[in-house]
Amino acid sequence: MAVSRVGVDSPFSNQKFRAALTDIFAGTICSILSIAYCLSYAALIFTGPLEHLLSYGVAVTFLSAAVGGSIVALRSSLPFSVAGPDSNISVVLAALVATVVQRVVADGGTDLLEPALIALSLATAITGLLLCVLGFTHAGRAIRFVPYPVIGGFLGATGWLMITGAIQVVANQRPTLTNIRVPRRRDRRQALLRRGGGDPAASDAAALEKSLHSARSSIGGIRSGTSCPVIDRLDAC
């Protein structure tokens, strides 16, 4: 009897306590994911000329994620909803900030932080205002009238920008048609020239030796002790 009473009085048997533990665990996971997303999107937006201002970008993304998550948690009609940074908007903001920064640099400007923050703030404010108008007027259903190719093109362009932006963050170089190409025959010949010390004869001899080795390997079973005039002639050369 005493054992059962201890089990009933145990705090772990309380439903509210279990729910609190579940909420804490879920909140921890969401916080870790939000931090990872904020770091990634800050590195995506503050790249190139803004690379030395990455610390400001991290602070801005952390602040915006905290404010947005708090507002959604306190004012949302869904009690289990969680807000965080979005990849589609981050890619669009990265393209917008890159365009603004290029324009400022072309005009001879050196202070790049203020234009970038102004562009981010204006884009965020306009997007929020538009979403508020759609919510108050119950016009969210109008999204079904948007053609499918428009939505598909937007998602495809967003994916392409994310891939190129990630490559630029990792390699510090944006992939273009000039730096992504398949090696041609001329490039292979130049590699052979470098391997042969710049001597065309040495490179040709190396290529010929490689061809001979491949030919011997491919017809080794056919020769079976007999002479092959083609191979013998090449060996004599």
Query: How does pLDDT run across 114-162, given as a tens digit for each residue?
Result: 889 999 999 989 988 988 888 888 887 877 888 888 888 888 888 888 8
Rounded to two decimals, what is the model's pTM?
A: 0.60
Mean pLDDT of 196-205: 52
* CA–CA gap between residue 122 and residue 126 (Å, rounded): 6
Token pair listed for 194: 């470098």
Stretch among 25-29, 114-118, 163-167 having the lowest mean pLDDT: 163-167
Spell out the residues 6+ positions from residue 200 whose beta carbon is closer than 8 angstroms to its own. Answer: 193
Residue of 189 and 59 predicted with greater confidence: 59
Q: Which of 55, 29, 32 is nearest to 42 (CA)?
A: 55
Confidence band (pLDDT; 50, 70, 90) for 208?
low
Q: What is residue 230's predicted lDDT score, i.e. its pLDDT? A: 44
pLDDT score of 67 more than 70: yes
* Distance in angstroms (rounded) separating the CA atoms of residues 181 and 184: 9
More confident residue, 216 or 74: 74
Counting beta carbons within 10 angstroms of the beta carbon of residue 25, is it exposed (0 to 12), middle (13 to 18) or buried (19 or more)? exposed
